[in-house]
Amino acid sequence: MSDIIARNWLDLYSHRDDPLRIYFILIQDPFWVYLDYGRRKYHAPTLIESEFCLAVLKRCEFLVKHVKKFEETFNEFTKYRRMVPTYGAILLNKAMDKVVLVSSYISGYKGFPKGKINEGESEIQCAIREVYEEVGIDITELINDKEYLLIEGVDEKYLKLFVVASLDESMQMKPTVSYEIGEIKFYPIEELENHCQKKSKMVKQVQQFIGLIQKWVRKKKKMRKNIN
């Protein structure tokens, strides 16, 4: 915790008139570093983001006085973050009857590999980075900026997933970040609806994309059949 405070001290102090707002932005990268490396190095417990942010805040001399406003400000920041566009990919096998889902290391909830766009990134760059981080494969040569599915107004304000339909099911998939992704697995598309109805740990976006994926696959299979 002391290391994290020391590394971000100048940035935090320079925004001392409105410290919590900038604090939640600055703490994002340290939180993932903590999950990836800090936990093992210091044999520290697994913390969810809010617990981590509060623990660091309590150890920062000029921030501790803001503890009473922590919950309210963190909730406001969470709402703001949902407005940031999210990009990722729908990874299909070559037969286009299975899709890759990744599960959260902490919660176990399953969803598509995706994440918030960073400043200066393009939509494609964000999707490529998120897939590489969460699945461990480089889709740079496979992704097409014209092939995507889009939903607006769900948990994320804007969620755009590029469709990649050429993965070999035998290929090795392993996240390049630690303690973010638990399991990576191909799921039959026709079984996704049943998984969602059984209240398994699939995020809401999976169910909202099922129909779009099925429609996209039908269109592509029809195109292939006409060509042949």
Domain count, the chain: 2
Q: Are strands 148-152 and 86-93 parallel, antiparallel or unpaired?
A: unpaired
Alpha-carbon separation of residue 181 from 123, 133, 175, 199 (angstroms): 22, 9, 7, 20
Partnered with residue 192 across adjacent β-strands are none
Mean pLDDT value of segment 46-54: 86
Question: How many other C-beta atoms lie within 10 A of the C-beta of residue 113?
Answer: 26
State whether residue 184 is helix, strand or coil. strand
Domain end (from 62, 81, 100) = 81
In this predicted structure, what is the pLDDT of residue 42? 74
φ and ψ at 135, to 5 degrees?
A: -115, -25
**How much is the pLDDT for 189?**
94
pLDDT at 61 over 80: no
Give the mean pLDDT of 158-166. 93
Would you state the pLDDT for residue 14?
A: 53
Note if the pTM is more than 0.85: no
Percent of the chain with pLDDT over 70: 85
Look at residues 81, 99, 122 and tell me which one is the last residue of a structural domain. 81
Tell which of 66, 81, 96 closes a domain.
81
Residue 47 and residue 99 in one domain? no
pLDDT tens digit sequence for 105-156: 777 888 999 998 888 999 999 999 999 999 999 999 999 999 999 987 655 5
Beta strands in 76-173 (DSSP E): 86-93, 98-104, 110-111, 114-116, 148-152, 158-167
Whether 205 and 111 map to the same domain: the answer is yes
CATH for 99: 3.90.79.10
For residues 66-85, average pLDDT: 83
Q: Is the pLDDT of residue 203 over 90?
A: no
- Separation CA 66–CA 19 (nearest Å): 9
